[in-house]
Structure 1
Amino acid sequence: MAERIYLQRPGTDETVAVATGFSWGALLLGFVWAMSKRMWFATFIMLAVNTLLFFTGLWGETVGTIGLVLSVLFGIACGVYGNQWHRWTLEQRGYVVVPPAGEGK
């Protein structure tokens, strides 16, 4: 099981756990996963790339095969970097890393 990093917004009790490692949600759900995490810029980019890759499949057999391969590679890249993007987004919103509950400060 992947480890988690805990981030908290200073001045509140709101703590968010962000997994480390590969994100199956980002791989399988793409922009829907990003939208559920309120990562609006990532949602827009992922939707735009997926739309472009989808339309390459309408141009012909060879271009469609290339589009399929690029779609799979893009999905894998989203899975590899998804949790890092989520943590970065939270840090940009002012969240800071805190020790997990139960550990001393």
Structure 2
Amino acid sequence: MKLYTVHLPPETPAAKAADKALFIRDGFSWFALVLPFVYVLWHRMWWVLLGVVAAAGAIEVAARAAGPAAGTILSIVFALAFATEANGLRRWTLARKGWRYAGTTVGGSLEEAERRFFETGVPAAATGRPLPAPAQAAPRPGLAARDSIIGLGPGFAGSARPAR
């Protein structure tokens, strides 16, 4: 099973936002490994493009200083690191553009993940409605303030050590 995060476009009514939802798979991206510049341009990740160009320039400078073998090793390490983080950088870019995180879903394929997400109902965060307040735990009867926590240090009620 693959994990997907779901993102909705900014300032879009909930009914239309569901049609334009983006499902981004978590994990390694083969597309970003093989063609990193194309991946960045395809997804319009301009700040990431600037970082990739800077990293490529730094690798070129290091290769000239240390030799071609070091440049090859650095290029491979950078390509693997970028492919591992490419989808996370895509999520970051969407968040900067105002896209809303709507939740996560799992599926064997993208279609299955979409079906599962919409079958379970779009979460309140996706529709723009406020989330319900969490339920408060009921106080335990007979628990006095002096008996609440033991052993946190000086100054706390019920502390094992006396306050100085």
**What is the TM-score with the length of structure 2 in the denominator?**
0.55
Distance 1:23 1:101 in 2: 25
Higher relative contact order (CA 8 A, sep 6+): 1
SS at match of 1:22: coil
Q: What is the alpha-carbon distance in structure 2 between the residues aligned to residue 77 and residue 97 of structure 1?
A: 24
Equivalence for 2:82: 78
Residue of structure 1 equivalent to 2:5: 5
Match of 1:102 in 2: 119
Aligned counterparts of 2:3 and 2:31: Cα–Cα separation in 1: 16
Matches within 5 A, 1:37-48: 37-48=43-54
* Equivalent residue in structure 2 for 1:27, among 33, 43, 47: 33
Q: Deviation of residue 97 (structure 1)?
A: 1.7
Give, in angstroms, the shift of residue 68 of structure 1: 0.3
Larger CA Rg, structure 1 vs 2:
2
Q: Secondary structure at the match of 2:32?
A: helix
CA contact (8 A) 1:2 1:19 kept: yes
Distance, in Å, in 1 between the alignment partners of 2:48 and 2:55 is 10
Counterpart amino acid of residue 11 in structure 1:
T
CA distance in 1 between counterparts of 2:75 and 2:2 reads: 25
Specify the alignment match of 2:67 in structure 1: 63
Structure with the higher helix share, 1 or 2: 1
Give the gaps of 5 or more residues in structure 2: 104-116, 123-164
Q: Percent identity?
A: 25
Report the CA distance between 1:28 and its aligned residue.
1.1
Give the alignment's TM-score, normalised by structure 1.
0.82
4+ long deviations beyond 4 Å: 54-57
Q: Report whether the alignment pairs 1:90 with 2:94.
A: yes
What is the distance in 1 between the residues matched to 2:96 and 2:62? 34
- Note the C-alpha offset of 1:19: 1.0
State how far apart, in whole Å, the 1-side matches of 2:49 and 2:2 are: 24
Q: Give 5+ residue unaligned stretches, structure 1.
A: none
